[in-house]
Amino acid sequence: MIENPEDYSATVRPEVFEDMLQEAPFGICLVNTDFSVEFYNETWQRLFSARLQENSSKNLLEIWPEAAVQLRKLAEQLNQSESKAESEILPFNSGENGETATFKIWMRPVTKDGVFLHYSLVAFNISGLQMMRYKGQQEEERLRLATESSDTAIWDLNLTTHEIDYSDSLAQIFGYSPGEIVTHEQLRSHLSEHDRVNVVDKAFERALETGIYRYEAHITDRNGVDKWIFTNGKLFNDQHGKPERMLGVLQDITERKKSELRLQQSHHQLNTAMDATNLGMFEMNPETLEKYNFSPRFLEIFEYDPENEKIDTHIFERHIHPEFRHVRVEALHTAQETGDLYYQTKIILRNGKEKWIELYGRLSPGVEGRKAYIAGTIRDITELKNYQEKLSASEKKYRFLADVMPQAVWIAEPDGRVNYFNKFMLNYTGMSFNELIDNHGWLQMVHVEDQPKNMSRWLHSVKTKEPYFFEHRLRNAQGEYRWFMSRAFPETDEAGSVTKWLGTSTDIDDMKRQEMQKDDFIKMANHELKTPVTTIKGYVQLLKKTRGDSPDKFLVNSLNTIEKQVNKLSSLIGDLLDISRIETGTLPLNMRDLSLVELVTETVEDIRASEDCHQIICNLKHSEDIEVYGDKERLTQVLNNLLTNAIKYSPRANRVFVEIFIDGNDAVVSVEDFGIGIDAAECAKIFGRFYRVSGDDEKTFPGFGIGLFIVQDILQRHEGNIWVESEKNKGSKFYFSLPVKATNF
Ligand code: ADP
């Protein structure tokens, strides 16, 4: 065994060294201080062959001029008592294989017994090495760029010291500025308590087992901004298998999370909507018509057990009711053109039960490798269909009933367009259904004089939703007109909106004619009665004038009684005439400004003159005069009527109170008696035509029951009002009000 290399070298023959030197895988060259070449080996010669061929010089600096500066520098270093100098020499075309090469040069002094002999140069072609290193740098740069630009940070955690190395973008994700030093603990403090314990620590435990460290967690960065991060790392153990460090990337995935959340929300909304509408979902291959991806509700509708049963991809073909096959085929055909699939069909379940379903599908074009498909929904509409069937059955029944009815029945839309008339109307008018309903065609059969009012009354009801009542003349198929009373009532839904108008038109022609005859009779009777009564009145007055102071008491009393009764008679005749005028709307009013106080006092005075049983006490509560706009004669008639009633219906009392006062914008006159009074139930009715309170008392009080009817009409036409407060056997207080002329305020 050789213990000393010196000894070893002594044993080796010098040719061996020379061979070794010549064939060494690096170039060796001995130069003098002026870089003249003393020796080079074969490798050197090969490396520099091109240069050596074209250059006869023996000086290395001339052979290799581009390295001259560096070579001199190396020599200088050695002169400054360094034993070895090394350098990378600029690349040059060595000529070895025509490529540019880079050399690493080691330079040493060669001495013998302390005397400098040469410089030895060892040249090593490092081109391959350098390329690798260069490539490595590029990779790193590329990685850095890739990671820094996509919100991806790199980190390296020492598991023993917990020191963490990270790229700038990691600091930025956590809200720190680039370059700021942050500890691992600090970074952890940005995690929510929940995620630190349940997500990150758990992920670490998993990493200890699997070597993979991966999690998504929620952080609040240093500026208080909420973010989501994703970490993907790897665990490295030391040579003893103990976890040593962890390397990984960290990404800001807030945007992705947000859109995931939005997606989740819209999925949730969609599902909720689907649940609410009870829609079942499926998908279908538009070419093969195979169905798949059935939702639980879909299977529920078909009464399949989604857990335990395999569903046929041709479920519709299997269950569709044979009578509806063509409906489906047609719908599929249309879907090919429009992309929309829609049909309603009956299906037969496995237990024989039948159901109605409505199917809707839309073609989704194939994207990103996914084939085109139809996304579809189905809805169980059995109940709806049954209801519709029942409804149409009952509608049929009612239409039939309406048709056999001996009066006109019609239905109108909420906007007033009539869309149905029963047979009676078609037969009566001789018009066709369409003639009647198109463009308010029914108006043609209304008498031309009634048309404008008819239309405005109908449109008024449509607008206000108030019931409609109207008397008009309708032309029959023979061209004759008959009077009809038309009525319509709105039918409303739960929200109070009109869904339709239900109308009837009743033939009241006979009644109307009788009434007209009655009116004619009254008019005629009135006229015929008026003449004799006026004559009697004239003679009585003449007699009173000439014989009024006669000592014959009987004569005087008789004359007074005749005068009183004739006055009553003439007022009754007047009332009868008024009532027919009111009904025909021809009661004339002679409107002008007048003093209400004066009117009341005069009327009261007149009554007082002919009345000796009752004292009429007048109380003017308003200090000034009250001006109103009206017909003096008619308003006098109003008060007169109330006063005579008060006297008539309080035979046992001896006082009647009259008051005048102002209430808001109205002047109010009240007449109070202490007589028989009126039942609360009757109070509203006494203003009706010919209404008289039924009871024993009334029989003893003569009258027609038309006075208050006329009074109310007169007041309404003055935009006034009348009402009563009364108590049976205590007395009544009648009020009437009139709008006050603005100058009174
Ligand atoms: P008439 O007095 O001619 O019967 P009106 O129209 O004046 O007709 O009155 C209608 C009904 O109202 C009367 O029949 C009577 O029953 C009741 N009525 C009117 N005024 C009074 C009153 N002051 N007290 C009690 N009942 C009255």
Which of 316-325, 398-407, 627-636, 679-688 shows the lowest mean pLDDT across its residues?
398-407
Q: Does the structure show a pLDDT above 80 at 380?
A: yes
Kindly give the number of the ligand 1 atom that is closest to the alpha carbon of 703: 3
- Asked whether the beta carbons of 641 and 571 are under 8 A apart, the reply is no
Query: Phi and psi for 400 in degrees, rounded to 5?
Result: -60, -50
Q: Does the structure show a pLDDT above 70 at 550?
A: yes
Say what the alpha-carbon torsion angle 97, 103, 108, 112 is, to the nearest 10 degrees.
0
pLDDT one-digit tens code per residue, 456-487: 999 999 999 999 999 999 999 999 999 999 99
Q: Which residues, in sequence order, are CB contacts of 161 under 8 Å at separation 6+?
A: none
- Residue 384 C-alpha from the chain's centroid: 25
Locate 614 and state its tokens.
């009752």
- Asked whether the beta carbons of 428 and 436 are under 8 A apart, the reply is no
Label residue 116 by pLDDT band (50, 70, 90).
Answer: confident
Range from 57-71, 210-224, 725-739 that averages highest in pLDDT: 725-739
Q: Say what percent of the chain tops pLDDT 90.
A: 35
Q: How far is the CA of 692 from the centre of ligand 1 (A)?
A: 6
Kindly give the number of the ligand 1 atom that is closest to the alpha carbon of 706: 6
pLDDT one-digit tens code per residue, 626-667: 999 999 999 999 999 999 999 999 999 999 999 999 999 999
pLDDT one-digit tens code per residue, 254-285: 888 888 788 777 767 766 666 666 788 888 88
- Asked whether the beta carbons of 50 and 35 are under 8 A apart, the reply is no
The residue whose CA is least distant from atom 1 of ligand 1 is 705
CA-nearest of 460, 557, 542, 444 to 501 is 460
Say what the alpha-carbon torsion angle 160, 163, 168, 169 is, to the nearest 10 degrees.
50
What is the best residue among 571, 578, 638, 649 to mutate for testing ligand 1's pocket, by most ligand atoms within 8 Å of CB? 649
Query: Phi and psi for 236 in degrees, rounded to 5?
Result: -115, 135
What is the best residue among 678, 689, 700, 736 to mutate for testing ligand 1's pocket, by most ligand atoms within 8 Å of CB? 678
User: What size, in residues, is the chain?
Assistant: 745
Q: Which residues, in sequence order, are CB contacts of 347 under 8 Å at separation 6+?
A: 302, 316, 319, 320, 321, 354, 355, 356, 357
Range list of H helices, 192-253: 193-195, 201-210
Label residue 9 by pLDDT band (50, 70, 90).
Answer: very low
The helix/strand/coil state of 162 is coil
Q: What is the pLDDT of residue 234?
A: 84
**Residue 279, amino acid:** L
The residue whose CA is least distant from atom 7 of ligand 1 is 707
What is the best residue among 640, 642, 692, 697 to mutate for testing ligand 1's pocket, by most ligand atoms within 8 Å of CB? 692
Q: What is the pLDDT of residue 368?
A: 62
Kindly give the number of the ligand 1 atom that is closest to the alpha carbon of 734: 23
Q: What is the pLDDT of residue 188?
A: 92
Locate 24 and state its tokens.
């060494």
pLDDT one-digit tens code per residue, 10-40: 555 666 667 777 776 778 888 888 899 888 8
- Asked whether the beta carbons of 87 and 104 are under 8 A apart, the reply is yes
Say what the alpha-carbon torsion angle 657, 660, 662, 665 is, to the nearest 10 degrees.
110
Q: How far is the CA of 637 from the centre of ligand 1 (A)?
A: 15
pLDDT one-digit tens code per residue, 218-244: 999 999 999 999 888 888 887 777 888
Alpha carbons 646 and 50: distance in angstroms, whole number: 150
CA-nearest of 66, 55, 117, 57 to 88 is 66
Q: Does the structure show a pLDDT above 60 at 143?
A: no
The DSSP bridge partners found for residue 681 are none
What is the best residue among 641, 671, 674, 693 to mutate for testing ligand 1's pocket, by most ligand atoms within 8 Å of CB? 693
Q: How far is the CA of 686 from the centre of ligand 1 (A)?
A: 7
- Asked whether the beta carbons of 719 and 725 are under 8 A apart, the reply is no
Locate 134 and state its tokens.
């260069």
Q: How far is the CA of 1 from the centre of ligand 1 (A)?
A: 157
Alpha carbons 575 and 713: distance in angstroms, whole number: 12
CA angle at residue 395 from 391 to 400, to 5 degrees?
155
The residue whose CA is least distant from atom 9 of ligand 1 is 705
pTM of the model: 0.41
Q: What is the pLDDT of residue 202?
A: 93
Mean pLDDT taken over the chain: 84
CB atoms within 10 A of CB 55: 14
CA-nearest of 144, 106, 146, 141 to 126 is 106
The residue whose CA is least distant from atom 11 of ligand 1 is 692
- Residue 485 C-alpha from the chain's centroid: 45
The residue whose CA is least distant from atom 25 of ligand 1 is 677
Locate 606 and state its tokens.
């007149």
Between strands 655-663 and 615-620, the pairing is: parallel
Between strands 592-595 and 627-630, the pairing is: antiparallel
Query: Phi and psi for 291 in degrees, rounded to 5?
Result: -105, 150
pLDDT one-digit tens code per residue, 123-136: 777 666 555 555 55
Q: Which residues, in sequence order, are CB contacts of 189 under 8 Å at separation 6+?
A: none
The residue whose CA is least distant from atom 21 of ligand 1 is 645
Task: Specify whether the backbone of 81 is left (phi greater than 0), alpha (psi in -120 to 50) or beta.
Answer: left
Q: How far is the CA of 642 from the centre of ligand 1 (A)?
A: 9
CA-nearest of 594, 607, 611, 679 to 639 is 607
Alpha carbons 370 and 128: distance in angstroms, whole number: 48
- Residue 242 C-alpha from the chain's centroid: 62
Kindly give the number of the ligand 1 atom that is closest to the alpha carbon of 731: 24
| Pocket (CB within 6 angstroms of ligand 1) | 645-646, 649, 673, 675-678, 686, 691-693, 698, 703-709, 732
Q: What is the pLDDT of residue 396?
A: 80
- Asked whether the beta carbons of 664 and 640 are under 8 A apart, the reply is no
Counting beta carbons within 10 angstroms of the beta carbon of residue 540, is it exposed (0 to 12), middle (13 to 18) or buried (19 or more)? buried
The DSSP bridge partners found for residue 734 are 671, 724
Q: How far is the CA of 53 from the centre of ligand 1 (A)?
A: 152
Q: How far is the CA of 705 from the centre of ligand 1 (A)?
A: 7
Query: Phi and psi for 42 in degrees, rounded to 5?
Result: -70, -40
Which of 4-13, 666-675, 695-704 shows the lowest mean pLDDT across its residues?
4-13
Q: How far is the CA of 444 from the centre of ligand 1 (A)?
A: 45
Q: Say what percent of the chain tops pLDDT 70.
A: 88
Q: How far is the CA of 663 from the centre of ligand 1 (A)?
A: 26
What is the best residue among 708, 725, 735 to mutate for testing ligand 1's pocket, by most ligand atoms within 8 Å of CB? 708
The helix/strand/coil state of 424 is helix
Kindly give the number of the ligand 1 atom that is closest to the alpha carbon of 673: 23
Kindly give the number of the ligand 1 atom that is closest to the alpha carbon of 676: 25
Which of 9-18, 373-382, 535-544, 672-681 shows the lowest mean pLDDT across its residues?
9-18
Q: How far is the CA of 256 from the centre of ligand 1 (A)?
A: 87
Q: What is the pLDDT of residue 367?
A: 66
Q: What is the pLDDT of residue 281?
A: 85
